[in-house]
């Protein structure tokens, strides 16, 4: 077995089985804020470049996401399609997933109890 293969599935990756919840969550106005560690040009997202960039982070730029508006649209699309985790914190799903037209998958992670997220390609 590869050292990267999980022997036990992560409960963090379990998709919630409540399609109507996505619409209720959209009414609460989740927001994509972003994280400069996942941006080649963080200024495009209104973010300050990190003081100590970490080169191993996956970049949104490599999959064609260059604006906060597009990232916000993808976050909302994931909720509309019911692609969010069963695991939640203060009523917000810990993860929301979206798929680009080219079949690449993106993951947004909850940053705060106010429904703010950052995301990256997986």
Mean pLDDT of 89-96: 94
CB 105 within 8 A of CB 99: yes
Instruction: For the chain, give every domain's residue range.
Output: 17-121
Please say whether the beta carbons of 32 and 93 come within 8 A: no
Provide the pLDDT confidence category of residue 39 given band limits of 50, 70 and 90.
confident
Q: Containing H/E element for 72?
A: helix 68-80
Assessment of whether the complete model's pTM goes beyond 0.85: no
| 19-32 confidence digits (pLDDT tens) | 799 999 999 999 99
Q: What backbone phi and psi angles, to 5 degrees, belong to 97?
A: -115, 150
Q: What is the mean pLDDT of the chain?
A: 84
Cα–Cα dist 53/98, whole Å: 25
What confidence score (pLDDT) does residue 57 get? 76
In this prediction, residues 3-25 reach a mean pLDDT of: 72
């Amino acid at each position: 077995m590869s050292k990267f293969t999980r022997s036990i599935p992560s409960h963090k990756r379990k998709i919630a089985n409540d399609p109507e919840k996505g619409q209720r969550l959209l009414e609460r106005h989740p927001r994509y804020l972003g994280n400069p560690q996942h941006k080649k040009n963080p200024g495009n997202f209104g973010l300050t470049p990190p003081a100590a960039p970490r080169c191993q982070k996956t970049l949104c730029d490599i999959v064609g996401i260059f604006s906060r508006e597009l990232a916000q649209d993808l976050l909302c699309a994931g909720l509309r399609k019911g692609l969010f985790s069963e695991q939640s914190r203060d009523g917000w799903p810990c993860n929301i997933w979206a798929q680009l037209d080219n079949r690449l998958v993106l993951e947004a992670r909850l940053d705060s109890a106010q429904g703010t997220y950052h995301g990256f390609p997986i």
